[in-house]
């Protein structure tokens, strides 16, 4: 029998019953639903709305459901529209009339909002750990590779050489912003809607602060209508998750490029790469490709939530039932992607030091340094820039690199050039010279490594 059946003469059309139902996916919220109900039952006992003995029996009954589900003896059936009805029906079945007292002063509208926030709060903590774990593996690789050089690109054209550590730490920074965003969002997720009841509050002497406190919420919603209508946190969460995926996708894309024969900056180990069923020579970067590919799901969830909410009058609307799957899938997608990328950096790839070395010594990515060299000898930058342009053209015509020019040729170009130009052209020196704050100079990168070590490895 449906809980609200007294008002209805006829049963639901069976298809509509299924259409209406959310138990298939909101059963996910079982633990949180039980936690919320236990806090609510305690509050009912404490405020004298029911007796303390009754509250204790309700709590025991709720714990028995938790155990039953764990053991597999209690399962939802077709009659259970959602997780909330599932719990209530079992409670009534087990406790008789007392079970019917649990829902006093509460509605599924404030209940579902509470469950979802409790669920997401837990997942935000998990996400923070997973984000940090990825930061740590990137940091470890950075420590190993302070003096490994990698070509730096703009427009995907060779620009200036970099410390590989500097490149990796750029992602550590992005991930830190992701963590900061989630922790901001967590503050707003951590507000309790319970006690708003259906939309207007209740005439019963409930104690909202008590339930909120029991559930570890920081505060309660000040406005009951807002409490049952607010899904901003879901939008914020999927938006911040979209940015996490953007960051992971960019990193994934670089790994895919680096693993290609054209770049060959990394080798994929057998642990995280697969072969082709047709071409025996191939080793495919499936992990970063999947991370890149999964990004669209999360963007999609953000769009679907925004669209779902935008036209809704206050307060609760059944449309909100559609908020869960996007949130659940976003959490799963982001956590999986983070874990996969972490494993990839731990055991799935090796930087090819020889190849990177070769790459930074056979191009013109030291051309800026020749201009800087002249600037240091008091030649205005624009003039120096033109001089170097001519040098590069000369080299290209003769199919040589800057380091292959003889001192006589340098002198011919400009009398300011001396023997020390050769030292200046060496990629290690090029990188070392970028000492401006935030630059790739080894000393600067070492400072950053120290900072991250304090943040990630040995926080005070
Ligand atoms: N399954 C519903 C949801 O996910 C629970 C709330 C239902 N409330 C209601 N008034 N029908 O939103």
Is 414 noted as a catalytic residue in this protein? no
Q: What is the pTM of this model?
A: 0.94
Do the Cβ atoms of 135 and 456 come closer than 8 Å?
A: yes
In three-state secondary structure terms, 256 is: helix
Q: Which tens digit of pLDDT belongs to each residue from 174-212?
A: 999 999 999 999 999 999 999 999 999 999 999 999 999
**Band (132; pLDDT cuts 50, 70, 90):** very high
Q: CA-based Rg of the chain, rounded to a whole angstrom?
A: 31
pLDDT at 293: 98
pLDDT at 155: 97
User: How is residue 210 written in tokens?
Assistant: 């008590």
Pocket test residue of 36, 113, 193, 318 for ligand 1, highest count of atoms within 8 A of CB: 318
Rounded to whole angstroms, the Cα distance separating 195 from 207 reads 8
Measured from the CA of 320, which atom of ligand 1 is nearest?
12
Please provide the CATH number assigned to the domain covering 109-156+164-206+216-355: 1.20.200.10
Do the Cβ atoms of 53 and 61 come closer than 8 Å?
A: no
Please provide the CATH number assigned to the domain covering 5-104: 1.10.275.10
Q: Is the pLDDT of residue 234 over 80?
A: yes
pLDDT at 402: 93
Is 166 noted as a catalytic residue in this protein? no
Residue 236 CB contacts under 8 Å (≥ 6 apart), including other chains: 185, 188
Q: Does the beta carbon of 22 sit less than 6 angstroms from any atom of ligand 1?
A: yes
Q: Name 151's bridge partners.
A: 161
**Band (417; pLDDT cuts 50, 70, 90):** very high
Considering only CA atoms, which residue is closest to atom 3 of ligand 1?
A: 321
Q: Is the pLDDT of residue 128 over 70?
A: yes
Residues 432, 434, 437, 438, Cα dihedral to 10°: -90
Q: Is the pLDDT of residue 214 over 80?
A: yes
* Fold of domain 367-457: Ribonucleotide Reductase Protein R1; domain 1 (1.10.40)
Residue 79 CB contacts under 8 Å (≥ 6 apart), including other chains: 2, 89
Q: Does the beta carbon of 82 sit less than 6 angstroms from any atom of ligand 1?
A: yes
Domain boundaries, the chain: 5-104, 109-156+164-206+216-355, 367-457
Helix, strand, coil % (nearest 5) of the chain?
65, 5, 30
pLDDT at 460: 59
Given the residues 155, 277, 406, 415, the one annotated as active site: 155
């Amino acid at each position: 029998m449906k809980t609200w059946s007294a008002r209805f003469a006829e049963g639901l059309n069976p298809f509509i019953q299924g259409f209406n139902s959310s138990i298939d996916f909101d059963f996910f919220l079982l633990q949180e639903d039980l936690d919320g109900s236990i806090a609510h039952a305690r509050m009912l006992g404490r405020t004298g709305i029911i007796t303390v003995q009754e509250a204790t029996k309700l709590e025991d009954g709720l714990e028995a459901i938790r155990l039953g589900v764990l053991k597999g003896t209690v399962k939802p059936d077709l009659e259970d529209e959602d997780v909330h009805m599932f719990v209530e029906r079992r409670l009534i079945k087990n406790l008789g009339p007392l079970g019917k007292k649990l829902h006093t002063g509460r509605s599924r509208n404030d209940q579902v909002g509470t469950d979802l926030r409790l669920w997401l709060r837990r997942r935000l903590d998990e996400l923070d750990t997973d984000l940090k774990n990825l930061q740590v593996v990137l940091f470890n690789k950075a420590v190993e590779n302070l003096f490994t050089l990698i070509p730096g690109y703009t427009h995907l054209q060779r620009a200036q050489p970099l410390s590989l550590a500097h490149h990796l730490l750029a992602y550590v920074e992005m991930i830190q912003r992701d963590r900061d965003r989630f922790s901001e969002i967590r503050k707003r997720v951590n507000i309790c809607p319970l006690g708003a009841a259906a939309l207007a509050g209740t005439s019963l002497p409930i104690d909202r602060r008590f339930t909120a406190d029991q559930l570890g919420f920081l505060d309660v919603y000040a406005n009951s209508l807002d409490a049952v209508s607010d899904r901003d946190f879901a939008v914020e969460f999927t938006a911040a998750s979209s940015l996490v995926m953007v960051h992971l996708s960019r990193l994934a894309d670089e790994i895919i490029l680096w693993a290609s024969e054209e770049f060959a900056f990394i080798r994929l180990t057998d642990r995280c790469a697969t072969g082709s069923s047709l071409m025996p020579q191939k080793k495919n970067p499936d992990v970063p490709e999947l991370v890149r590919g999964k990004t669209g799901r999360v963007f999609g969830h953000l769009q679907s939530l925004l669209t779902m909410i935008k036209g809704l009058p206050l307060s609760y609307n059944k449309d909100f039932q559609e908020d869960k799957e996007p949130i659940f899938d976003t959490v799963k997608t982001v956590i999986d992607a983070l874990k996969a990328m972490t494993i990839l950096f731990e055991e799935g790839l090796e930087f090819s030091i020889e190849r990177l070395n070769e790459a930074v010594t056979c191009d013109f990515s030291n051309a800026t340094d020749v201009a800087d060299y002249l600037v240091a000898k008091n030649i205005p930058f624009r003039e120096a820039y033109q001089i170097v342009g001519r040098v590069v053209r000369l080299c290209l015509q003769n199919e040589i690199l800057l380091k292959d020019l003889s001192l006589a040729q340098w002198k011919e170009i400009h009398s300011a050039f001396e023997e020390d130009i050769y030292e200046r052209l060496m990629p290690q020196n090029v990188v070392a010279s970028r000492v401006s704050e935030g630059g790739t100079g080894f000393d600067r990168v070492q400072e950053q490594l120290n900072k991250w070590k304090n943040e990630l490895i040995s926080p005070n």
